Amino acid sequence: MSRPFILDPLFRSLKTLSGVGDRTRTHFERLIGGERIFDLLAHTPIDIIDRSYMPSIIDAEAGRLATLTVQIVKHTPPTRRNLPYRVHAKDGTGTIDLVFFRAYPDYMLKTYPIGAELIISGKIDIYREHPQIVHPDVMGGSESKDIPPIEPIYPLTQGINHKALLKAMHSALGFCPKLPEWLDPAYQKKMKWGEWHKAIALLHSPQSAQDFDPNTKTRERLAYDEALANQLTLALMRHRHKKKNGISYETNGALRQQLTQNLPFTLTGAQLKSLEEIDRDMGQKIRMMRLLQGDVGSGKTIVAALSMMNALDSHMQAAFMAPTEILARQHYEGLRPLLTPLGIRLVCLTGRNKGKERDVLTQQIQNGAAQIVIGTHALFQDSIEFQNLGLAIIDEQHRFGVDQRLKLSNKGKGVDVLVMTATPIPRTLSLTAYGDLDVSKLDEKPPGRQPIDTLLFSTDKIQEMIEGLQRQVQKNARVYWVCPLVEESEILDVTAAEERFQILESVFRDKVGLIHGRMKADEKDTVMKKFVAGDLSILVATTVIEVGVNVPEATIMVIESAERFGLAQLHQLRGRVGRGADKSYCFLLYKAPLSQTARERLSIMRDTEDGFLISEKDLELRGSGDVLGTKQSGLPDFKFIDLAAHGELLSTARDDAKLIIQKDSELKTKRGDALRTLLYLFECDQAIGYLQGG
Ligand code: ADP
Ligand code: MG
């Protein structure tokens, strides 16, 4: 099966379009984040220019955008530098000046030939009691017919102006084919949605501000198509995954029982319930594909460990993948004392293991000497082979993409997969990233935790805060001090952290440590170990500590320039404290003055510790923009879907996809055929791969 011919025009290079050459093509590609004509068609207008006001010169009101039919009378080039070039024009009622800064006389004479009748458009200004237009748009000669009175405005970039974009878009619309309908006819009728190619055309000819509402018929239809492609991909993946014969494990074997007995605490009700659900999946011959969702500190790690015992009791290996090196090491260090007494052999493999050391580890993984392998994404590299991987656990905090999850689970036959996520993902987002996974929830924290007090502090008061810290440190408090993200540049982050470190060092001497992403792995370890042991009281860090670090004695979290962090991220960071029995505090430092939204966001952090509430509010306040920093999070990047507005459509698309798979899992019917076209259109390569795989 290969791409349907009907899509060819949409997959052609932008160079095909009129007005797009080799050089402009790269600008366009950067702007639209794609190379195909379809990617340009998905570039959505954000405003309109209304040119329908067509007065005569004498009636033209100042400040309004007017379209005038004029005759060019005379040119007056500037007499001094910094003066504008003026073109004088008239109609039957009066005269007007067209004003240009930095104009080339030759070009001006060619564009505005004396005596010519032109239609021009622009904002009317009054200068010394005389009307003028600065840098008008020329719409054509006076005999031009159908000049559209309303023009869409698009986001632009350097090297591409409004006119160039309009021209390319106009040309692109000419390539837009009529595609077979993939929507369910009854649903389409109910929603009153038009055909796909018409929706695309309408998207690019907005008539009023109302057309920018995400809930117009046009925008809804296009968003639904994208949602359906996304959900169908996930559903196909899941279908294929479950169909492959899974392994049925011994779920209450010896190791499992021993580990349960050795735990220094009793499991919470939520942990027990999740384990039951996991055991039920693992005990059956279908493959598990389960998401374990639990707020920070809810105790996911131990659930992971107990699940791994099922695999080991059935003489299979388990892999545990963490998003960062620090976290992988920590899981390893944390689980080792629990597991080695049971005779379990576990290893840790990350990017730092090189040369001989790495060879030894890969050997142990391959020959089964290592029963549990903990690591980072190093685990799914091609060079890593397992003897018989049974269970893959991915502590992903949604940093791994669908592709990466898949790679790890393909390292064995019928591998069961458990994905753990700490950041509470709003439902709409989890739908797009996971579709219809089975979900277990840890909605109960281990007992004895006290609420964390969150305080907002303006940076002006930093001195006072440091004095307060001195008192706490004397009482042996342990403190995280997180430095801000500086324009997403790791190097600048590090500088900020180093500066803060020096300032604190002058106060706290050798009780302060520094940790950041650019340090060598063993340097990071040393610092982390000292902090865990209590030799350091204050740990200055960039966001490397964000995920998962577990030091129950730490009770104070300071976050600098908190207004620059996403709420989900702040929540993660704050979750590093309040893990032991002692009262914990979180100080959010901000630079005054705060914008209204920033103030609201920080207030949410102060007022609640409920991760779900926080992320829903975040989605609301940020709108559809870059939710949770989707780029780095492995969540899909959408063309038409507005997550804040289209949540309902996503759920419907999920149900639609489920039904499609039930009735036509190979996409062999007529609708199935159209759906294949849809999958190709959105480049859902995995889904296509599955269909090809049979
Ligand atoms: P997270 O869900 O954020 O990964 P962890 O698994 O790191 O949380 O657990 C946080 C802390 O709570 C750890 O110190 C862990 O040992 C402890 N813990 C886990 N389960 C329980 C429990 N049932 N009772 C008491 N403490 C627990
Ligand atoms: Mg964790």
The verdict on 532 and 666 lying in the same domain is no
Residue ranges of the chain whose pLDDT lies below 50? 487, 624-634, 694
Taking Cα atoms as reference points, which of 89, 86, 93 lies closest to residue 57? 93
In a domain, 621, yes or no: no
In a domain, 615, yes or no: no
The verdict on 68 and 101 lying in the same domain is yes
| CA separation for the pair 420, 393 (Å, rounded) | 7
Please report, as a single letter, which amino acid is at residue 502.
Q
Question: Which atom of ligand 1 lies closest to the CA of 448?
Answer: 25
Q: Is the CB of 579 under 6 A from ligand 1?
A: yes
Give the residue, by CA position, lying nearest to ligand 1 atom 27: 446
The verdict on 287 and 390 lying in the same domain is yes
In a domain, 213, yes or no: no
Residue 322 CA to ligand 1 centre (angstroms): 16
**What's the confidence (pLDDT) of residue 625?**
41
Q: Is the CB of 430 under 6 A from ligand 1?
A: no
Question: Which atom of ligand 1 lies closest to the CA of 271?
Answer: 23
In a domain, 282, yes or no: yes
Q: Is the CB of 299 under 6 A from ligand 1?
A: yes
| CA separation for the pair 299, 317 (Å, rounded) | 22
In a domain, 638, yes or no: no
In a domain, 656, yes or no: yes
In a domain, 689, yes or no: yes
Q: Number of structural domains, the chain?
A: 5
Residue 329 CA to ligand 1 centre (angstroms): 17
**What's the confidence (pLDDT) of residue 402?**
57
Q: What is the number of the ligand closest to the CA of 394?
A: 2
The verdict on 395 and 511 lying in the same domain is no
Quickly list DSSP for 393-458: EEE-TT-S-HHHHHHHHTTSSS-EEEEEE-SPPPHHHHHHHHSS-EEEEE-SPPTTPPPEEEEEEE
Residue 572 CA to ligand 1 centre (angstroms): 15
**What's the confidence (pLDDT) of residue 626?**
43
Three-state SS for 17-46 is CCCCCHHHHHHHHHHHCCCEHHHHHCCCCC
In a domain, 96, yes or no: yes
Q: Is the CB of 297 under 6 A from ligand 1?
A: yes
The verdict on 480 and 514 lying in the same domain is yes
Find the CATH number of the domain harbouring 67: 2.40.50.140
Q: What is the number of the ligand closest to the CA of 306?
A: 1
Find the CATH number of the domain harbouring 305: 3.40.50.300
Residue 461 backbone phi and psi in degrees, to 5: -95, 20
| CA separation for the pair 563, 595 (Å, rounded) | 9
Of the residues 584, 608, 632, which one is the last residue of a structural domain?
A: 608
**What's the confidence (pLDDT) of residue 414?**
79
Q: What is the number of the ligand closest to the CA of 295?
A: 1
Q: What is the number of the ligand closest to the CA of 334?
A: 1
**What's the confidence (pLDDT) of residue 497?**
83
**What's the confidence (pLDDT) of residue 624?**
40
Quickly list DSSP for 521-553: HHHHHHHHHHHHHTS-SEEEE-GGGTTT---TT
**What's the confidence (pLDDT) of residue 694?**
41
**What's the confidence (pLDDT) of residue 286?**
81
The verdict on 264 and 358 lying in the same domain is yes
> Please, are residues 346 and 372 in contact by the beta-carbon 8 Å criterion?
yes
- Residue 667's domain comprises 220-243+652-693
The verdict on 33 and 126 lying in the same domain is no
The verdict on 432 and 576 lying in the same domain is no
Exposure string of 10-39, with b = 16+ CB inside 10 Å and e = fewer, is: bbbebeebeebeeebbebbbebbebbbbbb
Taking each helix axis from N to C terminus, what angle separates 596-607 and 567-574, rounded to the nearest 10 degrees? 30
The verdict on 434 and 287 lying in the same domain is yes
Q: What angle do CA 162, 167, 169 make, to 5 degrees?
A: 95
The verdict on 9 and 119 lying in the same domain is no
Q: Is the CB of 104 under 6 A from ligand 1?
A: no
Residue 302 CA to ligand 2 centre (angstroms): 9
Q: Is the CB of 571 under 6 A from ligand 1?
A: no
Of the residues 147, 176, 195, which one is the last residue of a structural domain?
A: 147
Residue 253 backbone phi and psi in degrees, to 5: -75, -175
Residue 614 CA to ligand 2 centre (angstroms): 19
**What's the confidence (pLDDT) of residue 575?**
87
Tens of pLDDT, residues 599-612: 999 999 999 988 87
The verdict on 41 and 70 lying in the same domain is no
The verdict on 190 and 287 lying in the same domain is no
